[in-house]
Structure 1
Amino acid sequence: MERQDYIASLVAGGCAGMCVDLILFPLDTMKTRLQSQQGFYKAGGFRGIYAGVPSAAVGSFPNAAAFFVTYEGTKSLLGGYFSTNMAPVTHMLAASFGEIVACLIRVPTEVVKQRTQASPSLHTHHVLLTTLREEGFWGLYRGFSSTVLREIPFSLVQFPLWEYLKTVWWRRQGGRLDSWQAAVCGALAGGVAAFVTTPLDVAKTRIMLAKPGTATASGNIPLVLYDVWKCRGVYGLFAGSIPRMTFITVGGFIFLGAYEKVRRMLL
């Protein structure tokens, strides 16, 4: 990938990530509280829906930038090894690598953000200091494996579907897609991926919010999912699916549309 492409992906991805995280933050808060063990209203209900927004603001640009730089770079690299017919495989692998790199930034900010969302009486810096004091630096990475195991299946569904929808639309109109058309494709792909991976998101939320030393905090995803199913059934496994799908569908439109727009402007 050329230097200009690298910079364009970095800036476009970062700008797109900030737009989504800050505009749709209340939906993310509601999703977290619906998935929390104490339940929606005990976790804050509709109060303080911007609790944790400083953590999201700090992490959104570098997180999104890291993903797209890795995604575009890997896609470019693998393009020389795979034929055009293998494009979906290229997109899946590129998205998976992108998510793993992005999670190095995403998980600490997600831990602080979700704990603040579920305890709106606390401020972001109090949650950060408490986590460091009680669990040390690695406490910020609790839920790393569950986040990766959520994001990779999500990307395996979203990005090949996004690229496929863009290709179909491009062929049908016989020319280049506008940014809003790429955004519509991203919204549809994101909504499908969001619903399919909601149980993994529930497990990730429970693990991040669990008290240190509990069975849930150990990060055993099958055990967490079984516990949720035993206590709340299928409904519990898909708790928060509506705000999550709304967040990612609308977010996909803004995120991928903004990414395409900014990237084309820079190139």
Structure 2
Amino acid sequence: MEPGEKPKSKKSEYIAPLLAGALAGVSVDVALYPLDTLKTRLQSEKGFQKSGGFKGVYRGLLTVAASSMPTTALFFVSYESTKKVVSPLLPVQYAPIVHMTAAGIGEVLACVIRVPTEIAKQRKQTHAGIAKRSSVSILLEAYKTEGFRKGLYRGYLSTVARDLPFSFIELPVWELMKNMVKSHNDGKITSFQSALCGSVAGGFAAAVTTPLDLAKTRIMLAEHYTVARKLRIVPVLSDIYLESGLRGLFAGAAPRGTAFMLGGFFFFGAYDYCKAFVEEALDR
């Protein structure tokens, strides 16, 4: 339990983060989806214009909307539960380690849902020929032609390798900034203040991890698994650096950073607001 927080009922400890994470996740993902599409096209090996340019920026939206709620709900239930278990085991000065551990476990579990979604979404975003096909049909074809691991979960490790560092940065920074605000406000923090903390944390983490996101995108968008299996994060980034330099490694950084700054503001603000609302309702 964080300093200044009231004891919560067993029911609210799990239901509140589940519902709050689901609502916050779907609202932000839907609102900022066009920026994600532009980022993916900037990172595509085919190039921005050949991948669709500014056309059809909502391709794959339904895929994200349908999967966003369970993905973020699973992440935050895991995150809050792990914090509750690990926090008593370490002194308070090791709080960043607690947050990193909780974020890591949450991300690994969330990627079980996120990776197939990303594959369907990014193919719809960059391949005009399959833009009108359903995400389910895209994933079924991937499963039939390339199998479970090679088709549905291609790029799982690169996605985890991208999301773990992101969460290792974003969540501890968010928690640290919230604690700084609380220390100057009698242990209290508003949803708006939490949103500002989330905006700074999200933008910073997104900027630092853009190369990892770029590598993940290239691996997922490879035409066939025989090509994708030869792609590894370090060789992919090395090739991009040799071809385009440091600027090439940060392709898509502007829309990605903007999306995560806006997303961090709305996501963490909505999460804290919804969580507090649900906790109050359940603890009455």
For residue 142 of structure 2, what is the aligned residue in structure 1? 131
1:52–1:114: 8 Å Cα contact kept in structure 2? yes
Q: Which runs of 5+ in 1 are unaligned?
A: none
Q: Which runs of 5+ in 2 are unaligned?
A: 1-8, 280-284
The separation in 1 between residues aligned to 2:22 and 2:228, in whole angstroms, is: 33
Which amino acid counterpart does residue 36 of structure 1 have in structure 2? S
Q: Percent identity?
A: 48
Figure out how many residues of one structure are paired with residues of the other and give that number: 267
- Is 1:72 the equivalent of 2:80? yes
Query: Which aligned runs of 4 or more in structure 1 are off by greater than 3 angstroms?
Result: 213-219
What does 1:139-178 correspond to in 2, within 5 Å? Answer: 139-178=151-190
Choose which of 24, 44, 51 in structure 2 pairs with 1:43.
51
Give the secondary structure class of the aligned counterpart of 1:44.
coil
Which amino acid counterpart does residue 134 of structure 2 have in structure 1? T
- Is 1:63 the equivalent of 2:68? no
Q: For 1:110-145, what per-residue CA distance to the aligned partner results, in whole angstroms no more than 9, with x for missing partners?
A: 111011101134233343343223212321110000
Give the secondary structure class of the aligned counterpart of 1:31.
helix
For residue 243 of structure 1, what is the aligned residue in structure 2? 255
Q: CA deviation at 1:166?
A: 0.6
Q: For 1:171-190, what per-residue CA distance to the aligned partner results, in whole angstroms no more than 9, with x for missing partners?
A: 12334111011010001001
Q: CA deviation at 1:72?
A: 0.2
What does 1:1-267 correspond to in 2, within 5 Å? Answer: 2-122=10-130, 123-125=133-135, 126-138=137-149, 139-267=151-279
Provide the aligned C-alpha RMSD in A: 1.4
Which amino acid counterpart does residue 276 of structure 2 have in structure 1? R
Give the secondary structure class of the aligned counterpart of 1:22.
helix
Which has the greater radius of gyration?
2
TM-score using structure 2 length: 0.91
Which amino acid counterpart does residue 165 of structure 1 have in structure 2? M
Q: CA deviation at 1:219?
A: 4.2
C-alpha change, 1:69 and 1:219, in structure 2 (3 Å) is: farther
Which amino acid counterpart does residue 159 of structure 2 have in structure 1? T
Q: For 1:209-265, what per-residue CA distance to the aligned partner results, in whole angstroms no more than 9, with x for missing partners?
A: 001144444441111111211222212110000000011110011111111011000
TM-score using structure 1 length: 0.96
Give the secondary structure class of the aligned counterpart of 1:136.
helix
2:146–2:225: 8 Å Cα contact kept in structure 1? no
Give the secondary structure class of the aligned counterpart of 1:173.
coil
